[in-house]
Structure 1
Amino acid sequence: MKIHILAGGPDEHMPPLHQSNDVKWVGVDRGVFLLLQQDILPVKAFGDFDSITNAQLKLVREALQDVELYPAEKDATDLELAFEWAIGQKPDSICIFGATGGRLDHMFGSIQLLYKGLKKKANVQMIDNQNIIQLFEPGTYHVDRLKEFHYISFVPFAGGVKELTLEGFKYPLNKHEVELGSTLCISNELIQQRGTFSFTKGILMMVRSNDKRCL
């Protein structure tokens, strides 16, 4: 089972949304209404719904059986509430959409959820029409070339990254230490169909991206 969560980020950053039998959609605030507009019926909805009209909220409540309505003043964002529920379902993967663009505080807050997922050993990605963002703990990983996301960047997330090795990349590395604040690994590219990256300490953010919004 896969869980896809749609938050209410700017429309211009949204990739195409699709329904499939192995995916459960969850809507967050305005994202619930956006899903209904795409003829996608989410299994749950979360939010204070302060970003949609009363008429739109009425449509949401009529269409969905499971709507969790929260006050605007609370200790967690609407997206975090949805994310915590999704983690509890123990899915194979979680993809978060509609969480980038617009307010930077919201975006950076959403990226923190990737860290929370990492600590709980969950496979979590944040996706928009130009980027895929993931966090990794020390280990060895394989990454395949994607036409839609040509560039691959690696950024230390918390402290430095030790012994980073990149194989199959245009700019390879061999057991290199990448300090927090470094831009060394920005805009790399795969020169083979599959590449490998590994490191022994730290938390590494991988951003797959493209210059154009091509999805």
Structure 2
Amino acid sequence: MIICILAGGPPDCVPNLNIYKEMDASWIGVDRGVYTLLENGITPRAAFGDFDSVSETELEAIQNEMRDIHLYPSEKDETDLEIALNWAISQNPAKLYIFGATGGRLDHLLANVQMLLREDILDKKPASEIFIIDKTNILTVKRPGIHQLKGYSEKKYVSFVPATNEVKGITLKGFKYPLKNRDIKMGSTLCISNELISECGTFSFSEGILMVIRSSD
């Protein structure tokens, strides 16, 4: 199963959803993201949020189009996106794509990225792959092991960012800047802006957690 979540981030950071509409996926809307999905001809399977970012008329339109709406107070211990993510994870999807989670407020961006580092989410990998996607970036998180990365012409840059104090034994093959058994610490920029030079590259590491980010200019 594939689940796509559209949060309520700035619309100008959201990629063209038509690219993803062709997938056999269940769509989930978060706050204003629900209305945006309806505007794009996508009826979400479920909606989550306090809906403080939509007008009364827009909320009424959402309620007229949908049945499964989870309405929460604005004062709560979790963000709307985290509530939706928890629900999505409980469905055990093979892939989970999150849109509308970047841009705007920096605190929300950092919190959204850090949610992917929760132990309960990491423990589901590799059963569930989770990606945060915007117009220029695709971000995912990897545990130690051997991983493959296929070429992607629109997002030529590949960065590997430590999400733990240290990531050990990084080896990169098929990249413009290869590495062999290097240890990098949090804060290092050694693995920023690499590029694939083959159809399929391989990266591996033995300890730590690594964020993998593919970016375009």
Residue matched to 2:15: 15
- Letter of the structure 2 residue corresponding to residue 148 of structure 1: E
Distance 2:192 2:114 in 1: 20
Distance 1:158 1:77 in 2: 24
Aligned residues: 211
SS at match of 2:172: strand
Distance 1:174 1:82 in 2: 39
Alignment of 1:1-215 (within 5 A): 1-18=1-18, 19-20=21-22, 22-116=24-118, 117-121=121-125, 122-211=128-217
Distance 2:192 2:140 in 1: 15
Distance 2:206 2:164 in 1: 14
Distance 1:104 1:21 in 2: 30
Q: Check conservation: 1:167, 1:196, Cα contact below 8 A.
A: yes
Distance 1:128 1:155 in 2: 18
SS at match of 1:140: strand
TM-score (norm 2): 0.95
- Letter of the structure 2 residue corresponding to residue 9 of structure 1: G
- Letter of the structure 2 residue corresponding to residue 180 of structure 1: M
Query: Deviations for 1:79-107, whole angstroms, at most 9, x for unmatched residues?
Result: 00000110111111100000000001001
SS at match of 1:115: coil
- Letter of the structure 1 residue corresponding to residue 16 of structure 2: P
RMSD: 0.9
Q: Check conservation: 1:118, 1:124, Cα contact below 8 A.
A: no
TM-score (norm 1): 0.96
Gaps of 5+ in 2: none
Gaps of 5+ in 1: none
Deviates more, 1:20-29 or 1:172-181: 20-29
